[in-house]
Structure 1
Amino acid sequence: MVYQDLNNWLNDTPLGRYLKNQEFDFIQLNLNNEQPKTVLRVGLNVGDFRLPEKCACWWQNHVLPADVLAEHQRTPWQMQTFDCVVAAHTLDCVDAPELWLAEMWRIVKPNGRLILTGFNRHSWWRLGALDISGCLSLAESKKLMESMGWQIERGRFMNYLPPINSQMVVDKLGFLELVGNRWLPHGAAVYGLVLRKDVVGVHPLGEAEWGELDEAAVLALAKQAYSGSLK
């Protein structure tokens, strides 16, 4: 999925703005629950979150506007920098999801969180609205996350409206949210997940050692961390 096309769709269409508000509410609720002291926002901006007092927050993006200009899969941060990373649809836009998840693992502190949203490839939005054919399904995403060491703490399905960019549809068919959530939760257009970084029994590498690793090594280390075999 092309980042700029998705960004324009979220901001310029009735259905996109409706979804953007839903994702903002999901992320804000979980930020309230976690009360992080350091937060990194990557990729799409779905709103200005209310953060705890004295919480330091940066927005990293590969295009301006951003606090830090950097690619998603090659961040400039030291390992174990953030209590929480917020990523709206970044997993849908990166070329190598496994490398991005490994990089997020590197920069999140032990027991820190990754809050993300992604498109459900098997929802009826595949019939219109957006081209989501290249996105991972929820089952594929969960399998990849768990293989990388992330523990899925909680989640939520969002948006059961038909893939029609019409303000009338948004205004008149809001009742489908209750119907879908009750009778067809896995048919939602979008999922939100809170992932926790569990590193019990793991001894992290020093910064100098991380600097010598290539992408394949980072991916291998993330998988080792999950299995508890990293020494």
Structure 2
Amino acid sequence: MSIDNLQQWLTTPLGIYLQEQEQVLFDQAVHDIFGFNAMQFGMLEMNLLHNSRIPYKFNAGISAGALQCESHKLPLPESTLDLILMPHTLDFSEHPHQTLREAARVMVPEGHIIISGFNPLSSWGIRRLASESGTYPWDANFLSLMRVKDWLALLDFEIVDSSMTCHMPPFKSASWLGRYSMVERLGARLWPMMGGVYFVVAKKRVLGMRLIKPAWKGSRLKANLLPTPTQRTDTQKQHEQ
């Protein structure tokens, strides 16, 4: 499987619908994440870092992008990236767990990873069961949100946010997609965990690491640097007399 083979499918009405829904989520998530280096791996048809304020941003993929490699073999030093975007990268990785391990390796402490993927517990998951082998995107891994969260926890990631999108059934024609636009709004409210795509934001934690913060609650200097008067005990008064 290769995420690059999705390019043709993304031009279909259903592929365009997916891009529109995910673009909104990525734009909102990356805006308030800071650092120096950010990477988007896969889905290079979408500019998911354009709303990021991180100064150095680059794309990576199996056969496209500034960096070309497998997602589970990143040729980067440890603790290099502050932000990693993986739109459906786990879906089309032959080693999805190792892909996450590589992301954790090259990420700095307190760095963020943002992941999207197909939800098997949805109408999209049912559509996958009815599809022929080798058809995109239905031959993706379709990992459950719970499994992805478990993998992230094992790698010492803290879940910052998670949600679902693409609640509309995966119809092929644009007319059906337009007719059922209301389903998307109702689905997000009535069956939020049944969306066709999950979305996760996680932060890398390092065991034993403690951030040093200023002691804002320390005592303030007294006016004119005068010493604070103290009460004298009866014994002290007798000695003075």
Tell me whether the two structures share a fold, i.e. TM-score over 0.5. yes
- Aligned mates of 2:45, 2:160 — CA distance in 1: 22
Tell me the distance in 1 between the aligned counterparts of 2:54 and 2:104: 24
Contact 2:92 2:140 in 1 (8 A): no
Kindly indicate whether residue 177 of structure 2 is the aligned counterpart of residue 178 of structure 1: no
| 2:147 alignment counterpart | 140
TM-score by length of 2: 0.77
The runs of 5 or more residues in structure 2 that have no matched partner are 129-136, 210-241
SS class of match (2:169): coil
Report runs of 4+ in structure 1 exceeding 4 Å deviation: 51-54
Q: Which amino acid aligns with 2:91?
A: D
Identity of aligned residues (%): 25
SS in 1 for 2:175: helix
Q: Which has the higher helix share?
A: 1
Greater Cα radius of gyration, structure 1 or 2: 2
- The CA RMSD measured in Å over matched residues stands at 2.0
Give the direction of change, closer, same or farther, for the CA distance of 1:141–1:8 in structure 2 (3 Å limit): same
Q: Match for 2:117: what amino acid?
A: G
- 1:197, distance to aligned residue in structure 2 (A): 0.1
Q: Partner of 1:153 in structure 2? A: 160
TM-score with structure 1 setting the length: 0.80
The worse-fitting range, judged by mean Cα deviation, of 131-140 and 71-80 is 131-140
Alpha carbons of 1:51 and 1:124: their partners in 2 closer, same or farther (altered >3 Å)?
closer
**d(CA) in 2 for partners of 1:132, 1:186:** 21
Residue 69 of structure 1 corresponds to which residue in structure 2?
Answer: 68
Counterpart CA distance in 1 for 2:208 and 2:179 is 53
Are the counterparts in 2 of residues 121 and 133 from structure 1 also a CA contact under 8 Å?
no
How far 1:36 sits from its partner (Å)? Answer: 3.5
Distance 1:84 1:3 in 2: 20
Matched, 1:119 2:118: yes
Aligned residues of 1:23 and 1:46 also touching (Cα < 8 A): no
Deviation digits for residues 43-102 of structure 1 (CA, Å, limit 9, x no counterpart)? 1125223245561011111112x1111111111111111110011000111112221111
Match for residue 58 of structure 2? 58
Identify the residue that residue 199 of structure 1 maps to in structure 2.
Answer: 206
> Residue 21 of structure 1 contacts residue 46 of structure 1 at CA under 8 Å; is this kept in 2?
no
Aligned to 2:174: 167
Q: Give 3-state SS (helix, strand or coil) of 1:94's partner.
A: coil
The count of corresponding residues between Structure 1 and Structure 2 is 201
Matched, 1:80 2:79: yes
Other structure's SS at 2:60 match? strand
- Tell me how far apart the structure 1 counterparts of residues 203 and 24 of structure 2 sit (CA, whole Å): 20
* 2:8 counterpart residue number: 8
Distance 1:52 1:152, change over 3 A: closer
